[in-house]
């Protein structure tokens, strides 16, 4: 099997860490909130704290606003996004008025040939140098309508293919998913910290691939995988480090363990002092 002689170290647990992230020359990730249910306030609050630029894609602002209904309502002003962007056909009037009153940028892109995800990615990209490596945490879902879930995965590979310095992390209701490109990936911290369960899957939804794994209950070597043939779903993590070699992009998914909500006084803290750990890309 022809494997790119390159190692990428990935630390998904650091996005959910309660403590301050280690210093690094790489800035914290950006946070993209889609128009989909936010299932866990505990996970959301940690992703928010460790991110630097926060953008709601159109109706994602509705989801952010509604999360603070009830007893969390006094905390709503502590979680103001930097921008709300999209064609704005899903953004409720009361939500728009609330955030605009508090100084949140609300911008419209009427292009009907791109999705709100694509519009949001362009907006985030405009905030960064094209030569710098970027991490974007996407708060969304693969549940609900199948076509929309597949569409989201399509857009993830499209964005990463067009920008090799970009990495997207999809945080859905109970999982973290990311694309492992044609390389050797090392997923670290899979068992420690209690952030994840042992459940993991490697799915070649972007086309056939040949993979080799280490650290799983059912490891494979030079294993041909393809949708409609054989895939490694319902596998289990058995070691602290999981190694995956692939000759084509595959989707790696690991199940999140439940988190206990942080104290309210802490989750509203800004994260300008946080830094993201070095990732070899």
φ/ψ of 64, rounded to 5, equals: -65, -45
pLDDT band for position 276 (cuts 50, 70, 90): very low
Task: Express each pLDDT in 221-243 by its tens digit.
Answer: 999 999 999 999 899 999 999 99
Does residue 277 fall inside a structural domain? no
What is the percentage of the chain residues whose pLDDT exceeds 90? 62
Does residue 281 fall inside a structural domain? no
d(CA 56, CA 105): 10
The CATH number that applies at residue 234 is 3.40.50.10240
* Residue 235, helix vs strand vs coil: strand
The whole domain housing 133 covers 7-15+26-256
CA distances from 162 to 25, 113, 135, 139, 268 (A): 24, 18, 15, 21, 34
Does residue 263 fall inside a structural domain? no
Task: Express each pLDDT in 9-30 by its tens digit.
Answer: 898 888 888 766 555 545 689 9
d(CA 117, CA 152): 8
What is the percentage of the chain residues whose pLDDT exceeds 70? 86
Does residue 280 fall inside a structural domain? no
| Average confidence score pLDDT of the chain | 86
Give residue 194's pLDDT: 87
Does residue 20 fall inside a structural domain? no
Does residue 120 fall inside a structural domain? yes
Does residue 264 fall inside a structural domain? no
- State the pairing for strand pair 54-57/30-33: parallel
More confident residue, 247 or 263: 247
Does residue 213 fall inside a structural domain? yes
pLDDT band for position 164 (cuts 50, 70, 90): confident
Describe the crossing of helices 146-162 and 116-125 by its angle, rounded to 10 degrees: 30
Structural domain total, the chain: 1
* Closest C-alpha to 210, from 1, 17, 20: 1
């Amino acid at each position: 099997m022809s494997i790119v002689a390159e190692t990428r170290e990935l630390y998904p647990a650091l996005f959910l860490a309660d403590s301050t992230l280690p210093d690094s020359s790489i800035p914290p990730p950006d946070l993209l909130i889609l128009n989909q249910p936010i299932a866990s306030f505990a996970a959301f609050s940690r992703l928010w704290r460790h991110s630097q630029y926060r953008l709601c894609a159109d109706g994602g602002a509705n989801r952010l606003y509604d999360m603070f209904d009830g007893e969390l309502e006094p905390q709503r002003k502590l979680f103001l996004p930097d921008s709300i962007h999209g064609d704005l056909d899903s953004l409720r009037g009361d939500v728009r008025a609330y955030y605009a009153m508090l100084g949140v940028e609300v911008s419209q892109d009427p292009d009907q040939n791109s999705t709100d995800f694509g519009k949001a990615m362009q907006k985030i990209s405009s905030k960064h140098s094209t030569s710098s490596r970027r991490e974007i945490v996407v708060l969304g879902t693969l549940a609900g309508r199948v076509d929309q879930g597949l569409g989201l995965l399509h857009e993830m590979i499209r964005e990463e293919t067009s920008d090799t310095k970009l990495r997207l992390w999809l945080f859905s209701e109970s999982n973290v998913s990311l694309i492992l490109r044609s390389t050797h990936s090392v997923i670290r911290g899979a068992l420690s910290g209690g952030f994840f369960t042992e459940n993991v899957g490697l799915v070649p939804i972007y086309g056939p691939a040949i993979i080799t794994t280490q650290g799983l209950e059912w490891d494979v070597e030079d294993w041909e995988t393809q949708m409609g043939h054989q895939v490694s779903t319902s596998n289990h993590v058995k070691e602290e480090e999981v190694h995956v070699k692939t000759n084509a992009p595959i989707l790696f998914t690991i199940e999140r363990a439940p988190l206990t909500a942080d104290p309210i006084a802490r989750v509203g803290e800004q994260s300008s002092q946080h830094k993201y750990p070095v990732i070899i890309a």
